[in-house]
Amino acid sequence: MSNHLRFYIDGAWVDPVVPARLDVIDPSTEEAFTAISIGSRADVDRAVAAAQAAFPAFSVTTKAERLALLRRVLEAYNERFEDIAAAVSQEMGAPLGFAREAQAWAGRGHMEATIAALEAFEFEHQRGTTRVVKEPIGVCGLITPWNWPLNQIVCKVAPALAAGCTMVLKPSEIAPISGIVFAEVMHAAGVPKGVFNLINGTGPDVGQVMAGHPGIDMMSFTGSTRAGIIVAKTAADTVKRVAQELGGKSANIILPDADFAAAVTKGVEGCFGNSGQSCDAPTRMLVPAGRHDEALAIAKAAAETHKVGDPKAADTVLGPVVSQLQYDKIQRLIESGIAEGATLVTGGPGRPDGLNRGYYVRPTVFGHVTPGMTIAREEIFGPVLSVLSYESEDQAVQIANDTVYGLAAYVQSEDKAHARRVAARMRAGSVYLSYPDWDTQAPFGGYKQSGNGREYADFGIHDFLEIKGIVGYGAA
């Protein structure tokens, strides 16, 4: 029996208190393929009560017990790996290979990284005659986005479990099915009842209620900066901790000593991955002014290799974007780039040729973009690259940092020492040198309006802990 219309509360699948449904749309067809139930304040109250009741016992479990639990979750996750990939592909339109090798893989990778971090984690240490103890913060509200559903669910659930917290998860209502499969994974792994709870719903009806709920001790939110501000304001009345991973407008500085063709080509690929729907995507490419047109020729050739189409087709590189709302926003921003005088190098408004339904976007490159243009300022969240020029390294750094965001930055150079010097000047939570592999042990989070707190590995565990000093404890 499908659990799509039920919530997972206190170790069981239950019906919502007040029945209400929402269709889940397949973005490749624009048609509903299932429906979920939408929660209310009463459902939040029930889930929070379950998490509160479970906290006293779970918070005092040993590290060894929590490691054993996380290993069971990983085993159950691997058993449902293909189901998770299939759910992600259908709910957000990701090509099946990408859904498997990147989306579902991310959940597995972060579970493994959290287990490794917990193995080495010390919850107590002595400082003179004071004992410093790190304890679980309490009941945690977790709100996750649609663009990397398993990445963000596991980046919150795994460290919360590792810390000894109990939790209520609200996945995105736009891409909720992978979250339901994940809840089935948690049940199969034998997570104690009440430790993990899942409610589906909208931001106003469930997310904001969680943020303001006096029974929730911490909110961990990933999503837009606009929504993050609402969560933080709502949480302020109960003075709960708020950890946030928000938007980005990441710069990719191609230094003069980079392998130019390779750097530009990989920059296009990085921007377009996941159909451009990544908060840390390198969406602003900064190139030496004298090589701007050369960069545009390389970027055009690279962009036009990205075949857009049916996520089920073996040769599809980019699927649709996730929703009509997202499609319309991207179209508006592409039109603004043209209206404000940027050079349209390839792509542009409308669907790619041969596609008359589905939220498909043309892979688009703009050249001769200036820092004040809308496409250089706003997060587009689609396969749209803006190429800007710089006259000097100092100017490149200034342009890169001239944004309200600070999630990521990218630096390309054949000289590692040079790249490191530029990286030190970036006001961003992550700086990627010469397109490195994904590192699940690295901290992830942002400066400025890209959020606060850090995820991944031991950094994520710290976010879910309180620090207690027992003064006068005595010598070790």
Quote the tokens at residue 373: 């243009």
- Residue 338: pLDDT band by 50, 70, 90 thresholds? very high
Instruction: Determine what percent of the chain is predicted with pLDDT higher than 70.
Output: 100
Based on the fold, state whether residues 79 and 141 are members of the same structural domain. Answer: yes
Radius of gyration of the chain, Cα coordinates, nearest whole angstrom: 23
The tally of domains found in the chain comes to 2
Residue 446: which of 415, 408, 474, 409 has the closest Cα? 408
pLDDT digits (tens, 9 = 90+) for 243-290: 999 999 999 999 999 999 999 999 999 999 999 999 999 999 999 999
> Is 195 found in the same domain as 93?
yes
Helix or strand (DSSP H, E) at 52:
helix 41-58
- Kindly state whether residues 42 and 178 are assigned to the same domain: yes
pLDDT at 1 over 80: no
Is the same domain home to 227 and 271? no
255, 300: one domain: yes
293 and 230, same structural domain? Answer: no
Beta-carbon count within 10 A of 291 CB: 15
- Residue range 79-85: mean pLDDT, rounded: 98
Q: What is the pLDDT of residue 368?
A: 98
CATH number at residue 207: 3.40.605.10
| 28 Cβ contact list (under 8 Å, min separation 6) | 93, 310, 311, 319, 320, 358, 359
Same domain as 288, residue 174: no
14 pLDDT more than 80? yes
245 is catalytic: yes
Sign of CA pseudo-dihedral 410, 143, 159, 78: negative
Handedness of CA 171, 172, 176, 182 (dihedral sign): negative
**In the block, which residue shows the tokens 């969240």?**
381
Q: Is 34 inside a domain boundary?
A: yes
Q: What is the pLDDT at residue 58?
A: 99
Q: Say if residue 44 is in the same domain as residue 148.
A: yes
Whether 376 and 370 have beta carbons less than 8 Å apart is answered as yes
pLDDT at 356: 94
Burial status of residue 173 (CB atoms within 10 A of its CB: 0-12, 13-18, 19 or more): buried
Q: Which domain holds residue 408?
A: 251-445
**Do residues 89 and 311 make contact, with C-beta atoms less than 8 angstroms apart?**
yes
φ, ψ at 174 (rounded to 5°): -80, -35
Locus of tokens 């490149």: 396
Contact 252, 419 (CB under 8 A): no
Residue 267 confidence (pLDDT) = 98
Return the half-sphere exposure (C-beta side, CA atoms, 13 A cut-off) of residue 108: 17
pLDDT digits (tens, 9 = 90+) for 424-444: 999 999 999 999 999 999 999
Residues 184 and 318 in one domain: no
Catalytic residue among 112, 165, 279, 455: 279
Q: Which residues contact 417 (CB under 8 A, 6 or more apart)?
A: none
Give the mean model confidence (pLDDT) for residues 101-130.
98
CA 201 to CA 263: how far, in whole Å?
42
Same domain? 456 vs 355: no
Q: Are residues 438 and 456 in the same domain?
A: no
Coil, helix or strand for 353?
Answer: coil
Stretch 338-365: mean pLDDT: 97
Does 163 lie in the same domain as 96? Answer: yes
What value, to the nearest 5°, has the Cα angle with vertex 133 and ends 131 and 136? Answer: 165
Length of the chain: 476
pLDDT classification of 166: cutoffs 50, 70, 90: very high
Kindly state whether residue 476 falls inside one of the protein's structural domains: no
pLDDT reported for residue 475: 80
The predicted model gives 366-392 an average pLDDT of 98
Under the banding of pLDDT at 50, 70 and 90, the label for residue 476 is low
Non-local (6+) Cβ contacts of 14 within 8 A are 6, 7, 8, 46
Task: Decide: 387 and 232 in contact? Cβ < 8 Å.
Answer: no
Q: Is residue 12 part of a domain?
A: yes
- Is the pLDDT at 146 greater than 90? The verdict is yes
pLDDT tens for 203-248 read 999 999 999 999 999 999 999 999 999 999 999 999 999 999 999 9
Separation of CA 292 from chain center: 32
- Measuring CA to CA, how many Å separate 96 from each of 114, 154, 312, 440? 26, 20, 6, 22
Catalytic residue among 245, 271, 379, 455: 245
Which DSSP string corresponds to 93-143?
---HHHIIIIIIHHHHHHHHHHHHHHHH--SEEEETTEEEEEEE--EEEEE
pLDDT in tens, 116-144: 999 999 999 999 999 999 999 999 999 99
* pLDDT band at residue 327 under the 50/70/90 scheme: very high
